Amino acid sequence: RQVSHDNVPSAVFTQPPIASVGMSEEQAAEAFGEITVYTSKFNAMKNTLSGRSEKTFMKLIVETASDRVVG
């Protein structure tokens, strides 16, 4: 059985914390051609409950043909 290392997450514990998993926009566009990028900015529940105004930014990269999240 082969192990795929394509979707290994990485995190940098800085302020603000940064993390990624999967392909970048450039890698996905090169591999699949047409991609869709969704972005969202929101207050995480832990920040809302504690009264902090810290926002979270999230980006999803989706292969358009299959609707599969690739990054």
Q: What three-state secondary structure class fits 51?
A: coil
Amino acid present at 70: V
Task: Output the six-digit token pair for 65.
Answer: 């043909």
Model confidence at 11, pLDDT cuts 50, 70, 90, reads very high
| Residue 9 confidence (pLDDT) above 90 | yes
**pTM across the whole model:** 0.80
Q: Report the alpha-carbon distance of residue 58 to residue 21 in Å, rounded.
A: 12
Task: Output the pLDDT for position 52.
Answer: 86
Tens of pLDDT, residue by residue over 19-68, are 999 999 999 999 999 999 999 999 988 888 898 888 999 999 999 999 99
Q: Report the alpha-carbon distance of residue 46 to residue 43 in Å, rounded.
A: 8
Output the CA–CA distances (angstroms, integers) from residue 7 to 2, 14, 44, 55, in the order listed.
14, 22, 24, 25
